[in-house]
Structure 1
């Protein structure tokens, strides 16, 4: 069995984006960071951070990020992207960060490799989460520790660009969906309103959007046509500079 030796200078931080089909909103999974003084129990740190951890010496970066996600959510095989390294010498020098680091006994000079993941919020059970994890709207984030606001904003910008270049939004949808479902995801990520008729026309003409001989069930309004995304068809027609024109 490999001995788990931690590399105290390199960590991974995971930006976990989750789409909520009920509220039609893009959310972010954060964990509580809380610290009291040992003498008088004065609150020293009370905010939220991304989930991250130092890598083990034997680990590949991708494996470390996958491990962190599994420990947080129980999920594996989710879409993930390594998007940037953050190595400013002063990135962990905020007053609260210094208190936290001193308590946790880890290295101030830590370079973190940032990843983002795409999950469905309904797939994550937070009932007994040991890290006090919570979902927050990407547009209503709480007070954040370390340089995690910067990491989150850069991940979000990368996600917005990526969703126009690759069909990654289907990672956030059920296997069978309506055209409105797809539009809702795009609108939540891009924070824009999309013309419904124009979007519908463009989407149903995509060969990788397969119409099914099924309609919604259990809805009060007129049931809509269901579709599925075919990765096989998309891969066959993919071109290097292909953009998803919405």
Structure 2
């Protein structure tokens, strides 16, 4: 028997993906399209975040994980719950009201927002039933509901966290070059970083491990490959207690 959903509580997921080819931070969005039942008029044609009502048998994290799996087929990705959105007018745009009437949504729905980090190459869009598409964070399409606000707040949180936590390595291949790390930081932060200074600082980090490998299949001189060690990072940044119990 299908579990009953909570009609005024939902989870929306901002799925960030990094494309190493275009050096672009992207957001995965799904198509929202509705035609009139009586004419051929298109009533709604835009994009939204993926999300769903919370089921009564689920935790919020359960819902977020389920939503991501249904959209991408992926599990065990980095996720963070970052804010609740519950303004009384968040769903009152005219086209949103049309959509809500068709889908029988509760007009006063509160959503708990999460964001996920993954690699764009890990998502197969050709077989995606949601008509999902990647959009650069700085070139978002027309969005429904308050989803532009949710995306931009998730992006601000990501920019802050990437400076203090090693979450950017969730967006990179397991083996990467220093230039790829720099490109990713520049893409997220929207700034140019001094190459020589960045390289010196990064390779001096003990948790950035130089491998006995170089790039393959590149036209230019192959670069040194590195990997990130979470074990070393955790040991370096473990909490120090004044009294051991």
TM-score (norm 1): 0.95
C-alpha distance in 2, partners of 1:239/1:187?
28
Query: Are 1:48 and 2:12 counterparts?
Result: no
Which residue is equivalent to 1:174? 173
- State the distance in 2 between where 1:160 and 1:238 align: 20
Alpha-carbon distance in structure 2 between the residues aligned to 1:113 and 1:171: 22
Residue 87 (structure 2) pairs with residue 88 (structure 1): yes
Aligned residues: 239
> What does residue 243 of structure 1 align with?
none
Deviation at 1:128, TM superposition (A): 1.8
Report the secondary structure of 2:134's partner residue. Answer: strand
Deviation (angstroms), 1:219: 1.2
| Residue 196 (structure 2) pairs with residue 197 (structure 1) | yes
What is the alpha-carbon distance in structure 1 between the residues aligned to residue 22 and residue 132 of structure 2? 19
Report the Cα offset of residue 239 of structure 1.
6.0
What root-mean-square deviation, in Å, do the aligned CA atoms of Structure 1 and Structure 2 show?
Answer: 0.9
> Is the partner of 1:54 in helix, strand or coil?
strand
The alpha-carbon deviation at position 95 of structure 1 amounts to 0.3
Where does residue 222 of structure 1 map in the other structure? 221
The corresponding residue for 1:61 is 60
Cα distance in 2 for partners of 1:90, 1:53 equals 19
Q: TM-score by structure 2 length?
A: 0.96
SS of residue paired to 2:100: helix
How far did 1:106 drift? 1.1
1:99 is aligned to 2:94: no
Q: Which residue of 2 aligns with 1:236?
A: 235
- Are positions 1:119 and 2:118 aligned together? yes
Aligned equivalent of 2:242: none
Deviation string for 1:3-49 (max 9, x for gaps)? 41000011000000000011010001000111111111201111100
What is the match of residue 10 of structure 1?
9
- 1:72 deviates by 0.3
C-alpha distance in 1 between matches for 2:215 and 2:166: 23
Question: Are residues 1:21 and 2:20 paired?
Answer: yes
**Could you tell me which residue of structure 2 aligns to residue 185 of structure 1?**
184
Distance 1:164 1:143 in 2: 30
What is the DSSP-based 3-state SS (H/G/I as helix, E as strand, rest coil) of the residue aligned with 1:103? helix
Residues of 1 paired with 2:151 and 2:98: CA distance?
22
CA distance in 2, matches of 1:93, 1:66: 28
The 3-state SS of whatever aligns with 2:225 is strand
1:24 and 1:217 mapped to 2: Cα distance? 19
The alpha-carbon deviation at position 218 of structure 1 amounts to 1.4
Instruction: Note the alpha carbon deviations across 1:162-187, whole angstroms, 9 max, x for none.
Output: 00010100001111111001001101
